[in-house]
Amino acid sequence: MTYLESEQREVRRCRDETHAVLETDVCIVGGGIGGIYAALASASLGRRVVLADGAAQLGGLTYNANIGSFCGFYSNGPDREGCRPLTRLFAEEMFADLEKMGSAFPRYSSRTLVVPYYDLGFLRWAEHKMQALGVRVLLGCLVSGVCREGRRLTEVQFLSRYGPVSVRAASFVDASGDAALAWAADLPCQVSAADVLGSQVFVMGGIDCTDPPTTEEINLRAAEVGRQYGLERLKGVFFYMPVHGGLLSVNMTHVPTPLDPVAASEVTMTGKDLTDRVAAFLRQEFPRHFGRGEVVKYGETGIRQTRSVAAVHRLKTEEILEGTVFPDRIARCAWPIELHNESAGYVWHTFSDDHVHYIPLASLLSPELDNYAAAGRCIDADTAALSSVRVMGPCAATGTAAAYALALAGSGSVHEIDIARLQQQLAPNLQD
């Protein structure tokens, strides 16, 4: 056939047409860091995995919101060598691979080891992993409903631009960030009484990365002259990435993150207006390094904390401060309480070098379901506690723990698994 002979063929929607139904062992909703680690862990146990996300790309905030740095994977310490890895399962491999790819740039900062990363490198790493492990990835698929039989979910329904698709599974991980699966299943959920702000983060290109200004220097200048540029937030976070001649991830705005589709869409534009003011401030006040800087990527609205599942146990701030060692602990972290609840700055409560706090399995489990576990930033914690355990290290660790716990439960109840066995599997994330 030549192009001259090509013709259109008439098609019409058939209302009775059956839609695709996938059968699998575990269905994970949300392809951010929590969901990706849940998929890595589930697939490594030989389980068949469907990983579904409403966005057009994998990666959640880690890729789509320009977060720019992996935090919460290491303990605090007096220097780089003194920071112990707290989340190791799949993370050691990820960091090694990203460093090999030239996409990870670990550095000692805020008394711990943080790992700034190039987001494209991370995305491709995650995609290659999913392909290699045979994880079936569904993108552009938003949860539209669930089927539930007694204490078990049996199916999640999704809507996509190409029509509906359903996934039937033995177990389900809610790594949606907003507890979207719990919400669709009519499970009790919780939101913070006071607003927790998100951020529109942007990437600046065309910068000079030699001996660049530190975060402290930029924040000092912002405190002096930021208001003249219309800046509302005067304390930012900046990560340099030595790729493409030098990129800077700039996190210096605060925006509301409502769970309302109309208001949430509006923030995607007002947030960018705020970042443009930050870019003007950086260009003007630091001409040697940023004078020729351009915004090269805005990204999605960065959402910190919205809706969580109401689980068997709500992790409390006191338990974080005291480092409570729960009998059913499944993850740990030493990241500060980092609560963004005011427009100009944020609460930053740091911990000593020997401090570690733990997350119990009970903060992932719904009292109403036997085959559901939350992971990532929608686990159950009070507002300040969540502001610590929502960084990527513990999100990755809860994803791993949710996967292992559900695999141990099999067709039984995740509430009745052998915790000692689970902790044995999770030992690299629980012991030094």
Residue range at the interface with ligand FAD (CB under 6 A); choices 51-59, 159-167, 281-289, 319-327: 51-59
The continuous run of DSSP H or E covering 262 comes out as helix 261-285
Question: For residues 198 and 109, what is the distance between their CA atoms, to the nearest angstrom?
Answer: 22
163 Cβ neighbours under 8 A, 6+ residues apart: 19
Find the binder of ligand FAD among 24, 62, 363, 425 (CB under 6 A): 62
> In the complex with ligand FAD, which residue's Cβ is closer, 268 or 413?
268
Determine if 88 is a binding residue for ligand FAD (CB under 6 A). no
Find the binder of ligand FAD among 26, 39, 40, 60 (CB under 6 A): 60
> In the complex with ligand FAD, which residue's Cβ is closer, 129 or 390?
390
Contact criterion met (CB below 8 Å) for 380 and 311: yes
Query: Interaction with ligand FAD in 255-284: which residues (CB under 6 A)?
Result: none
The CB-of-143 to ligand FAD minimum distance in angstroms stands at: 4
3-state SS class at 320: helix
Determine if 226 is a binding residue for ligand FAD (CB under 6 A). no
3-state SS class at 165: strand
Our CA angle for 217, 354, 313, nearest 5°, is: 100
148 Cβ neighbours under 8 A, 6+ residues apart: 154, 185, 369
3-state SS class at 28: strand
* Nearest residue to 234 via CA among 214, 254, 207, 249: 254
Total number of residues that touch ligand FAD (CB under 6 A): 40
Find the binder of ligand FAD among 31, 121, 271, 336 (CB under 6 A): 31
Find the binder of ligand FAD among 22, 24, 25, 34 (CB under 6 A): 34
**DSSP class of 111:** T
> In the complex with ligand FAD, which residue's Cβ is closer, 336 or 360?
336
Find the binder of ligand FAD among 54, 236, 246, 299 (CB under 6 A): 54
Query: Interaction with ligand FAD in 155-184: which residues (CB under 6 A)?
Result: 175-178, 180
Determine if 86 is a binding residue for ligand FAD (CB under 6 A). no
DSSP string, 284-314: HH-HHHHTT-EEEE--SEE----EEE--SS-
The CB-of-7 to ligand FAD minimum distance in angstroms stands at: 38
Query: Interaction with ligand FAD in 314-373: which residues (CB under 6 A)?
Result: none
Place of tokens 């190409």: 162
* Maximum Cα interatomic distance, the chain, rounded to a whole number of Å: 75
> In the complex with ligand FAD, which residue's Cβ is closer, 144 or 324?
144
The CB-of-368 to ligand FAD minimum distance in angstroms stands at: 19
The CB-of-142 to ligand FAD minimum distance in angstroms stands at: 4
The CB-of-206 to ligand FAD minimum distance in angstroms stands at: 22
The CB-of-287 to ligand FAD minimum distance in angstroms stands at: 27
Measure the N-to-C terminal CA separation of the chain; round to a whole number of Å: 66
The CB-of-301 to ligand FAD minimum distance in angstroms stands at: 8
Residue nearest to ligand FAD (CB): 376
Determine if 106 is a binding residue for ligand FAD (CB under 6 A). no
Question: For residues 310 and 324, what is the distance between their CA atoms, to the nearest angstrom?
Answer: 20
3-state SS class at 276: helix
> In the complex with ligand FAD, which residue's Cβ is closer, 62 or 317?
62
Site mask for ligand FAD (CB under 6 A), range 139-158, x = bound: ---xx---------------
> In the complex with ligand FAD, which residue's Cβ is closer, 136 or 413?
136
Our CA angle for 84, 88, 90, nearest 5°, is: 155
Residue range at the interface with ligand FAD (CB under 6 A); choices 80-88, 126-134, 282-290, 298-306: 298-306
DSSP string, 365-426: --TT-SSEEE-GGGSSB-HHHHHHHTSHHHHHHHHHHHHHHHHHHTTS-GGGS-HHHHHHHT
> In the complex with ligand FAD, which residue's Cβ is closer, 156 or 170?
156
Find the binder of ligand FAD among 39, 67, 204, 255 (CB under 6 A): 67
Determine if 395 is a binding residue for ligand FAD (CB under 6 A). yes
CA dihedral 139, 300, 72, 203 (to 10 degrees): 120
Find the binder of ligand FAD among 26, 27, 28, 29 (CB under 6 A): 29
163-174 and 20-29 beta bridge pairing: parallel
* Nearest residue to 249 via CA among 257, 238, 260: 238
Give me the residues that bind ligand FAD (CB under 6 A), please.
Answer: 29-35, 52-55, 60-62, 65, 67, 69-72, 142-143, 175-178, 180, 198-199, 201, 251, 302-304, 376-377, 390-392, 395
